[in-house]
Amino acid sequence: MKKIYAAIDVSNEVSKKDGTNDGIWYFGNQVDLDQELIIGFSPTNYHCFIICRGYEFHARFSINPCRVQKSRSNNIRAALFFRFKHIPVEKLKDFEAYLINLKNKRTPSCHIGLLQALKTGIGLSIPHHPLYSLSPAKFLVNLWTHGLVDEQGHHFAVEAYTTRPLSPNKIINDVQWLNLRYYWVFVLSRLHFHFIEKWQPQKTVGNKL
């Protein structure tokens, strides 16, 4: 397995004088949301989501509909996030429109739904890893080590950022612990999603709109 590279640590810009850290990084002119694709992980529970231009897409367990909301104009709220650069702007515009239409769709989990949206909406995927084979921890590890490729196998430049002074191993261990703690929820959600996929496929992210 490729070595996980260190993330850019912006925790000193996020942590408050009293020592608290809400994971909100005010990026100023360091980020142009119109020019890049961001995959973030919540500071609450490492729930993963997509930021594309003016919108955020949050896939969820199948019992809950996907959420689409306006992206924050001057900050990112995440414990960890990845900035994918040099994706053609027209593709990002099309993907943004696609994500808007995913509101209230259903997915097996946040990380599988995120991968479904990337694959179906913009043709991006983690190379050499079947979508449904990835646990949350494996998804994070492979995203961190392999990045994303388009349908022609082209890799895009990526940078990882953390808003807390945690090592990659610590972050991955935290995600693994959450995976084990909520394992039964993932299993039940996957089963529930398969019923929706069979009987109401129009409600799922994995199907073309």
Structure tokens at 106: 């259903």
Please give the pLDDT value at position 18. Answer: 87
How much is the pTM?
Answer: 0.94
Please give the pLDDT value at position 133. Answer: 67
Question: In the Cβ-directed half-sphere of 25, how many Cα atoms lie within 13 Å?
Answer: 23
Q: Per-residue pLDDT for 2 more than 70?
A: no
Q: Per-residue pLDDT for 172 more than 50?
A: yes
Mean pLDDT for the stretch of residues 3-21: 89
Q: Per-residue pLDDT for 1 more than 70?
A: no
Q: Per-residue pLDDT for 132 more than 80?
A: no
Long-range residue pairs from 44-51, CB within 8 A, at least 24 positions apart, any chain: 45/178, 46/79, 46/80, 46/136, 46/140, 46/171, 46/174, 46/175, 46/178, 47/110, 48/110, 48/111, 48/114, 48/136, 48/139, 48/140, 49/110, 49/114, 50/99, 50/114, 50/117, 50/118, 51/76, 51/81
Please give the pLDDT value at position 207. Answer: 58
pLDDT in tens, 185-205: 999 999 999 999 999 999 999
Exposed, middle or buried: residue 1 (CB in 10 Å: 0-12, 13-18, 19+)?
A: exposed
